[in-house]
Chains A and B, each alone.
Chain A
Amino acid sequence: MIKEERLLDMSDVGLGNLTEYRLLVLLGNYHSLCLVEGLDIMPDQIVDSSEKLLYPAYFTTHLKIPVTNLIENYTLWENIQVEVDVKRFGSNILDSAYSFNKKASKEELKESIEMTSNSLFVVDATIDKSVERTSSVPKSNCIAALEKSKVVPKALKLFKNIRNNGMLLEFEHIVECPSFEYKIVSNRDASNNHGVIFAKYIEIMDICEQEFLCSSGCLGLPLSIISCIHTIDRQTFYYSNCFADEVIEVKLKLAFEKCEERNLTGEKSELTPYRIIETHELFNKHTHNLVAIAKTTKIVCLSPKYTDLESDINRLVIKQRK
């Protein structure tokens, strides 16, 4: 287990705020460090008994963000505390739990952002193209003494079930979008010859969502809505990976609903918020392989300066469906 307090620096947030993508990368770093905690090696030196390089490939992540502790409220030089606990299920499945919060006194401490993930050790075929990218088991002296779990991770069953049945949106009015295409650009979205980092798919989902919400051919909402949208729950299942120059096809369905509660985030001036529930399915356009499926819940919190947005959402989304 790693428990650390530190400042969010420019490598975490640039000059601005934390984002879901940046948070996942940060948690992913700590996860990797957990795997070699107390050893004299780095995460990229984990090998199996045939000396093949291994890395943990994520196959599920589930991020839960309390509405009172939104990711976007974390800024540069913020003092934070991170906790990551990794257990092994069998020899090569990892079952991990994460906690992330602002450093604060007990009285001021908000509910933490939590994440769980599952990953599988696979052979890294990036450098040696002759090796097959298959699962393998780390050599005993190349992995920290992680606690063993005797319980099948819940998400493992779900991972298979979702592959068979997809994610269901149980709402009366579901808006289905035309599919979007996203090209993986070399050295922007993925390093040359390397796969796309798991967190990048979240960013791609959000880009497509923004395109759908705001482009004139789709819902056509004002661009200012983007800064009002906050993820509060995202469960993602990763089935395969993509590389630079490949194209991802994204299918998005979403439903809007007006929240009954007011002042969800604790901001007294907040107007009635909306909830967006959406599913994304990502495919490799060339191979048609399923890349990822995710279900996300977001809230749209409108401050008084965005009063017009409330009318726009009503006119373009809520009333249009009736």
Chain B
Amino acid sequence: MNNTFEVVKNCVEEVLSMNGAEEVEIRFDSKIVHDLGMKSLDIAQLIALLEIQYEKDPFSEGATLANVITIADLCKLYE
């Protein structure tokens, strides 16, 4: 769980740094859109980075992007 969170957190930071955003606290219960300010393209990029990390695409296996609200939701898909 902790390891997955760290990997997800690093990927989120990589995406946000590209936006030129100031440092944001990323918690397990952070809401991806409302708390972290990630837009559609950011989320798409995040998923791509996670796919490279885990060599796994949970969305092609049936997961729904609309159900991913928090960092915790995302972590569950890669555990």
Tell me the A residues contacting B by CB distance below 8 Å: 48-50, 59, 89-93, 120, 122, 134-137, 140, 148, 150, 152, 156-157, 159-161, 164
Contacts and interface: CB of A to CB of B under 8 A. Distances in A.
Query: A-B pairs with the 8 shortest C-beta distances?
Result: A90-B48, A135-B40, A137-B59, A91-B59, A164-B20, A90-B47, A140-B60, A89-B48
Contacts of A49: 62-64
Interface stretch (B1-9, B22-30, B49-57): B49-57
A50 to B, nearest CB: 6
Contacts of B48: 89-91, 93, 152
Given A122-B40, A134-B40, A137-B59, A156 B45 contact: yes
Interface of B: 18-20, 40-41, 43-45, 47-52, 57, 59-66
Given A48-B64, A49-B62, A50-B64, A90 B44 contact: yes
A218 to B, nearest CB: 34
Contacts of B18: 156-157, 160-161
A163 to B, nearest CB: 8
A92 B43 CA distance: 10
A135 B41 contact: yes
B64 A135 contact: no
7 contacts: A50-B64, A89-B48, A91-B65, A92-B65, A93-B44, A134-B40, A156-B18
Given A135-B65, A140-B60, A164-B20, A150 B44 contact: no
Contacts of B41: 59, 93, 120, 135, 156, 159
A191 B43 CA distance: 30
B20 A92 contact: no
Describe A's contact surface by its main secondary structure. mixed
SS of B interface (majority): helix
Q: Name which of B48, B52, B59 has the most chain A CB atoms within 10 A of its CB.
A: B48
Contacts of A152: 45, 48-49
Contacts of B40: 120, 122, 134-135
B20 A160 contact: yes
A148 B51 CA distance: 10
Contact of A92 (B19, B44, B52, B66): B44
A135 B43 contact: yes
Contacts of B45: 89-90, 93, 152, 156
A268 B41 CA distance: 48
Contacts of A140: 60-61
Contacts of B59: 91-92, 137
A91 B74 CA distance: 14
Nearest to B14: A152
A160 B47 CA distance: 17
B48 to A, nearest CB: 2
Contacts of B20: 160-161, 164
Nearest to B61: A140
A179 to B, nearest CB: 26
A160 B49 contact: no
A91 B66 contact: no
Contacts of A160: 18-20
Contacts of B44: 90-93, 120, 135
Contacts of B43: 135
Nearest to A121: B44
A164 B16 CA distance: 13
Given A150-B52, A157-B18, 19 more contacts: A48-B65, A49-B63, A90-B49, A90-B50, A90-B51, A91-B47, A91-B59, A91-B65, A92-B44, A93-B44, A122-B40, A135-B41, A136-B65, A136-B66, A140-B60, A152-B49, A160-B18, A160-B19, A160-B20
